């Protein structure tokens, strides 16, 4: 009788080893921490403050307050780690500030003899995003590092020129529990009345957070050496109409309207007058967090949004121009390279997840 081949769990090679995670309190970070602990890893989460530390420690991880600044503390934190999972990105800071933090982290990983860096980048780094075929061979043109895209491109270049083995993950539209942008946001939008999409709406290359975690674990334990990029997307060929209709079903309300009024205009030609750095609102938010604490500011913001939602008459929302360009895009994202090189196979279907969440909420 032929013995059946058993595919090992993603990341089995990390069991019992020490790993370090940044961005551990984010929605991807929380899922990754859970997966690493289930594998039996010795997990250290690097935090800017003690916010979220108690929950991490209760789960079984070590929480170390260690700002991402050059110095012996950061080098010691990474010394001898089997893998560094870098997920952190502070949207309240400029791209340049995020890049400086990343440079300090990458240098500390090299000086501390960290075996591998798994870096969370984004599919937006490609010039062709969000239109046309997209593979790891597509062109990437650097831009001002003050922007999110520019900072992510510069981080990738830093790893390509560095001394550590590194896997650069480039996920598409990441949704799932805790995703402010692609789960909580669409649900809130449906409860406010819905969304207006371009005519015709484009394709949504959605990927569930657990598939991103799977890719991170596979990349960290892969025997491959050097620096590689991996596009990460889900199993569905999904339209934006289907995506938002799924959240309307989950919310039990909301309209998904198709209207040529939402069709985007051509993007402006590049020039040196584009705004850089965090917005005024982002700067104010960061200042308030320093003065009164992150939890109080976020609680107040949530209360203000809930009051605004109750007072406003429900109606579909017209996205801003960047959103309209995204929702009209026709990307064809290939994950073939990640499949061939690290064994990544997307598993979570969007429709199945929506139905699962509906059943959960009905209990």
Rounded (10°) angle between helices 95-111 and 148-160? 20
For the chain, helix (H) and strand (E) counts, in that order, are 13, 15
* 1 in a structural domain: no
pLDDT 10s digits, 287-343: 555 565 655 656 666 666 566 656 667 899 999 999 999 999 999 999 999 999 999
- Which among 301, 297, 212 is positioned nearest to 30, based on CA atoms? 212
* 271 in a structural domain: no
Overall number of domains in the chain:
1
d(CA 123, CA 90): 18
Statement: residue 27 has pLDDT above 80: yes
* 256 in a structural domain: no
pLDDT 10s digits, 243-269: 999 999 999 999 999 999 999 988 765
pLDDT 10s digits, 138-197: 999 999 999 999 999 999 999 999 999 999 999 999 999 999 999 999 999 999 999 999
pLDDT value of residue 137? 97
* 3 in a structural domain: no
pTM value is 0.86
Give the range of the structural domain holding residue 80, as residue numbers without chain letter: 12-174+208-234+331-348
* 52 in a structural domain: yes
Confidence of residue 3 (pLDDT cuts 50, 70, 90): very low
* 335 in a structural domain: yes
* 288 in a structural domain: no
Statement: residue 2 has pLDDT above 90: no
Supply the CATH number for residue 156's domain: 3.40.50.720
239, 203 in Cβ contact below 8 A? yes
* 145 in a structural domain: yes
Q: How many CB atoms lie within 10 A of CB 203?
A: 21
């Amino acid at each position: 009788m032929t013995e059946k081949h058993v595919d090992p769990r993603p990341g089995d090679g990390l069991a019992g080893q020490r790993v370090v995670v940044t961005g551990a309190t984010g929605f991807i970070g929380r899922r990754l921490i859970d997966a690493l602990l289930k594998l039996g890893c010795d997990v250290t989460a690097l935090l800017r403050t003690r916010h979220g530390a108690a929950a991490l420690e209760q789960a079984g991880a070590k929480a170390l307050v260690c700002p991402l600044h050059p110095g012996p503390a950061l080098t010691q934190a990474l010394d001898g780690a089997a893998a560094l999972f870098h997920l952190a990105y502070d949207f309240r800071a400029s791209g340049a500030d995020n890049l400086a933090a990343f440079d300090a982290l990458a240098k500390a990983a090299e000086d501390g003899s960290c075996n591998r860096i798994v870096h969370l980048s984004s599919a937006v780094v490609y010039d062709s995003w969000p239109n046309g075929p997209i593979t790891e061979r597509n062109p990437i043109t650097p831009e001002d590092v003050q922007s999110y895209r520019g900072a992510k491109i510069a981080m990738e270049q830093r790893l390509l020129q560095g001394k550590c083995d590194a896997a650069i993950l480039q996920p598409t539209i990441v949704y799932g529990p805790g995703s402010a942008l692609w789960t909580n946001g669409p649900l809130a939008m449906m409860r406010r009345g819905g969304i207006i999409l371009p005519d015709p709406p484009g394709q949504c290359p959605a990927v569930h957070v657990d598939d991103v975690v799977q890719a991170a674990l596979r990349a960290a334990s892969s025997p491959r050496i050097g620096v590689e990029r991996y596009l990460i997307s889900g199993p569905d060929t999904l339209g934006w109409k289907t995506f938002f209709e799924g959240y309307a079903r989950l919310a039990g309300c909301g309209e998904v309207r198709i209207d040529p009024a939402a069709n985007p205009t051509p993007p402006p030609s590049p020039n040196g007058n584009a705004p850089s750095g965090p917005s005024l609102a982002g700067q104010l938010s960061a200042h308030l967090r320093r003065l009164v604490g992150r939890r109080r500011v976020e609680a107040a913001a949530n209360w203000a949004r809930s009051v605004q939602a109750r007072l406003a008459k429900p109606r579909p929302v017209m996205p801003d121009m960047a959103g309209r360009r995204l929702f009209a895009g026709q990307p064809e994202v290939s994950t073939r390279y990640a499949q061939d090189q690290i064994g990544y196979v997307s598993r979570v279907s969007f429709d199945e997840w929506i139905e699962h969440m509906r059943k959960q909420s009905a209990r």
